[in-house]
Amino acid sequence: MKDIKQTNEKLDQLELHSTSNEDEKLTTNQGIKINDNQNSLKAGDRGPTLLEDFILREKITHFDHERIPERIVHARGSGAHGVFKLTKSLAEYTTSKFLSDVGKETPIFVRFSTVAGSRGSSDLARDARGFAVKFYTEEGNYDLVANNIPVFFIQDAIKFPDLIHAVKPEPDNEIPQAASAHDTFWDFISLMPESMHMIMWVMSDRAIPRSLRMMEGFGVHSFKFINEQGKSHFVKFHFKPKLGVHSVAWDEAQKISGVDPDFHRRDLWDAIDSGNFPEWDFGVQLIPEEDEDKFDFDLLDPTKLVPEEEVPVEIIGTFTLNKNPDNFFAETEQIAFHPGHLVPGIDFSNDPLLQGRLFSYTDTQLSRLGSPNFHEIPINKSINTVHNNQRDGHMRQQIVKGKVSYEPNSIGGGCPYQAMMSEGGFTSHQERVSGTKIRERSLSFVEHYSQAKLFYNSQSEPEKRHLQNALIFELSKVTIPEIRERMVGQLAFIDKDLAEKVAAKLGLKVKKLDSPNQSIPADADASELQSEERESHTKTSDALSMQNTVKNTIKTRVIGFIAGNGADANSFNDLKTKLENAGAQVQVIAPSLAPITLNDGSSATPKHTLTNTASVCFDALYISAGEDSVKELSLPENRHKVLHFINEAYMHCKAISFGNGTENLYKNSNVAAKKHDDPAIITWEDNNSADKFINAISQHRVWDLEIERNI
């Protein structure tokens, strides 16, 4: 009894150090009650964020230092070296030298990443992806810290810690990893109407790309170009992959996570290692400053995009990734990006999310890399020699000679001295800033549903179906009924049919919300600002659908040849040659890793076995011709594995070619029920079968046949 009493006393003491937020007011770490946790302090509702906002700084500083040493967000990453080549001069719009001289090549390092998961998480999590580029320009380093989605969940940086806390594993049990399908995320999202546009993107196939090389990139924010005359243009940045934008199926993504969680990392590495260098067209949308207010949304709102039909993307250059890192940690892991790393001719807008990021990134690097000298790590170093009066600090490497470390000075001849603008000295764009010091959001930021509706309307029918199924999957993991109901209510503002289909699978009725919009000022007429009045909005944008992406190449696609001993050498080699000449990779899958003997006595070395890989790792399958090969593949120990490969690839709408003599395998698979007009299934009866197979692979998938295949 004495031991039990002592234990209880210890537990009581521990309880003194714990706390509950139930029925409490929000406070700072100093105990000051917070009146507005939705908006940072700005000079006017569309003005720049003020440095004196101690609530914002305290909140983000604490958030930035919550994890060491891996990144709090974007921890799971892959990177590569490359080059940016300018093909069209922008000297009319910006003084940036790397954007002015046609033909100029600028070294770059690109890091791709998932947002929510830890370093050890899967590449195939449903998530937004980072697309960060460091330009090593002659004027200094320029970082374009982009994403594969053109908008973001929130409008103000003060909400970023809340967003990430909600999507990260829940704090009581650290579950789930790298997944948004849980209570806290959807609780937050269902209360944040400004997130509805981003949710459409993240629930779409954009969030499960086939490859990092087949992924678009967007600068998200509106930045500014400044020319020699001081004239300003707003600019939106775009990266368009030469191979097109393609995805995997959700079922496929889950299986790849088990078979090869490094799928994207391996794919990028192998492509560069084999000389198939990934390429993107780099483009810009340019908007004269005087046209800032001509849109039906606010250019400073990071939850909005500029439709390409209104402002076309102008292609100005090409990105090529041509060298893998020599050391993952030293380069990919230690590279430090910051949207505040600018060069002359580029400047910020007053986007309140961007304004907060300008503080957050450096603060994060100080914690993660442990020193204010992180810029001296080789991967972060400017190609220019650094000259300033900053000294010492942990891990200082640069040795600066001389007596002087201050400015102005006479002992050192005044050096290093300020550069004039004509000498390339950076100057911020001169714009008038005035306004009442206020925590408030501009009314132009309040409408949250029209672009979510634009995105959904622009999707093809298969894409809409995938998006619906993603929402059903995610919300079915939510354990609190009120959250599911509230989220369905939010979907009703976007599309009534979408909301009803999701609700039906969740066993719910669609209930009208009273618009729980925390960002609407108290005196605003919310009824005038919500998209309920926009039911007639039926705009679409071709650029938002992956159906309209590149479908004329099979370059770098991985084709699995399932074969056994005795495979027909002529058909095997002829098809292999045609596929490789078109840029694809052929990998042999056999019952074992022992070389297989073709029927002409030659041999082929398998890269995989039927048991150490899966159909999800390939873009298409060929079932090799040859009587003896088919006999081996039909043996009891092999047959069900081969049929599983075929059926799974068929379920995922991939191209499959059946060689002569494989009729037995064909008839015993799900493919036998195919319609005669199925363009992805090629059999021994088809004329020009190789050309048909290549064309089917180039289409990526036949998503339109999902329903017909009862998937």
Rounded CA separation 131/113 (Å): 7
Rounded CA separation 392/657 (Å): 65
Rounded CA separation 204/89 (Å): 35
To the query of whether residue 147 is one of the catalytic residues in this protein, the response is yes
Specify the amino acid at residue 523. Answer: D
Could you tell me if 167 and 116 are in contact, meaning their C-beta atoms sit under 8 angstroms apart?
A: yes
Ordered strands of the 608-609 beta sheet = 608-609, 585-590, 558-562, 620-623, 655-658, 681-682
What is the separation of C-alpha 318 from the centre of its chain, rounded to a whole number of angstroms? Answer: 20
SS3 405: coil
Could you tell me if 468 and 501 are in contact, meaning their C-beta atoms sit under 8 angstroms apart?
A: yes
Q: Which residue has the tokens 């000259």?
A: 387
Catalytic-role residue among 39, 74, 324, 341: 74
Other CB atoms within a 10 A radius of the CB of residue 430 amount to: 9
Burial (CB count within 10 angstroms: exposed 0-12, middle 13-18, buried 19+), residue 378: exposed
Rounded CA separation 684/662 (Å): 8
Full DSSP string of 459-504: S-HHHHHHHHHHHHHHHHT---HHHHHHHHHHHHTT-HHHHHHHHH
Residue 315, H or E segment: strand 314-323
Taking alpha carbons only, the member of 144, 118, 107, 112 closest to residue 379 is 107
Catalytic-role residue among 141, 147, 148, 350: 147
Other CB atoms within a 10 A radius of the CB of residue 299 amount to: 23
Full DSSP string of 67-118: S-SS-SSS-SEEEEEEEEEE-S--TTT---GGGTSTT-EEEEEEEEEESSS-
Enumerate the β-bridge partners of residue 620. 559, 655
Give the β-pairing of 42-43 and 437-438: antiparallel
Under DSSP, the state recorded for 392 is -
Could you tell me if 604 and 598 are in contact, meaning their C-beta atoms sit under 8 angstroms apart?
A: yes
Catalytic residues: 74, 147
